[in-house]
Amino acid sequence: MPQHTRPRPICGHCDGFPAVTITTGTRTPDGQRQTITANCPACHGTGHTTTPVRAHSRIGA
């Protein structure tokens, strides 16, 4: 029998898009754009959280 793994919850900070590439505005010597990659600080670039997200939250005491 196959074992099924439960899907991990998607990161609420990046909505599953953990890494982005940003252009710096400068060009390299061969004419290409200079870019940097930024990872989500909450999920460390995985796109998923390690703990389940609570469906409801209580405001107040």
pLDDT per residue as tens digits for the range 8-34: 788 888 888 999 999 999 999 999 999
- Confidence label for 39 from pLDDT (cuts 50, 70 and 90): very high
- Confidence label for 47 from pLDDT (cuts 50, 70 and 90): confident
Of 54 and 17, the one with more pLDDT: 17
Q: With beta carbons less than 8 A apart as the criterion, state whether 13 and 40 touch.
A: yes
Rounded to the nearest integer, the mean pLDDT of the chain is: 82
Distance of alpha carbon 20 from alpha carbon 24, whole angstroms: 13
Model pTM? 0.57
